[in-house]
Amino acid sequence: MVAEIIDGVKIAAELYAETARRVRDYVGRTGRTPVLATVLVGDDPASRTYVRMKRNRCARVGIESRSVELPADTTTAELVARIAELSADPAVDGILLQHPVPGHLDERAAFEAISPEKDVDGVTMRSFAAMAFGEPGFQSCTPGGILRLLDACEVPVAGRRAVVVGRSPILGKPVGMLLLARDATVTCCHSKTVDLPGLVREADIVVGAVGRPELIRGEWIKPGAVVIDAGSNPGNIGDVEFAAASRRASLITPVPGGVGPMTIAVLLAQTVQAAETR
């Protein structure tokens, strides 16, 4: 068996095209352009590159991008106040705080300053609750992108056993909640998990979301399982041993070109959703 590759670039392109159409329709109806405000604290090169990518993608689909850049010595109070201003600004539809922020800042306090109606990155506790309870709201972008990949490939989720390796608040936990809301039986694994190989071997759907290169070995993969690798490690190496896993899985995402392209695509789709809802 050789796994079919899930082409995240192609699926993201389809979502961008749909988002661009929705933007045109929205502008035609309202006479205004959706606005995404991006907040960047400090001068981390990777974060600056990511913000630039978002700005370029906004331009391609017709969303206006507003950049807010703050110095690295910004205090938590100053950051929260700036985000609160954006939350109160009627011209802004969505707010993204580029993370991680400098270590001295209370990132959670900053996230919670984002109005839930503008949390298009799905990082507030209210958005997490909506994902957990299957209520309307914004999904965390990478987990939301993973569910869109599964849908695009017509992967059945209800009744399947899903193992998520990783429990971060913006990836592992929310993707587990989204899968559970789709009636999967979900096991969330982490550094204290006993017999990780045995649990992975039972999974119909495996999500690598831990940030450790090739932690998930190919020999652990159940024949015919669907493997979603959300890992992003130096050297473009995922969390899954790709070559070996490809010989056992039915579907698998590559790194790069799998989950990654979906993150910004979902962010922009949710920005238009925020504008439409308002």
Helix orientation angle between 45-61 and 260-277, rounded to the nearest 10 degrees: 50
Same-domain status, 196 and 162: yes
Q: What is the CATH number of the domain that holds 75?
A: 3.40.50.10860
Is 265 part of any domain?
Answer: no
Count of domains for the chain: 2
Structure tokens at 66: 């507003």
Show the beta-strand stretches assigned E in 139-274.
161-165, 185-189, 205-208, 226-229, 251-252
Full domain range(s) for residue 101: 31-116
Q: What is the mean pLDDT of residues 99-126?
A: 97
3-state SS, residue 165: strand
Is 87 part of any domain?
Answer: yes
Of 116, 132, 165, the residue at which a domain comes to its end is 116
Structure tokens at 138: 């914004």
Same-domain status, 146 and 74: no
pTM: 0.95
* Model pLDDT, residue 166: 98
Helix orientation angle between 172-181 and 141-152, rounded to the nearest 10 degrees: 40
Of 82, 116, 150, the residue at which a domain comes to its end is 116
**CA–CA distance, 262 with 6 (Å, rounded to integer):** 12
The single residue of 98, 139, 270, 273 carrying the catalytic annotation is 98
Place of tokens 């995922």: 238
Q: What is the CATH number of the domain that holds 207?
A: 3.40.50.720
* Model pLDDT, residue 1: 72
3-state SS, residue 146: helix
Tens of pLDDT, residue by residue over 72-106, are: 999 999 999 999 999 999 999 999 999 999 999 99
The single residue of 54, 118, 173, 222 carrying the catalytic annotation is 54
Same-domain status, 182 and 240: yes
Q: How many residues does the chain have?
A: 278
Tens of pLDDT, residue by residue over 236-246, are: 999 999 999 99
Same-domain status, 144 and 244: yes
The single residue of 93, 118, 119, 121 carrying the catalytic annotation is 121
Structure tokens at 32: 């205004």
Is 168 part of any domain?
Answer: yes
Q: Say whether 98 is catalytic.
A: yes
Q: Say whether 121 is catalytic.
A: yes
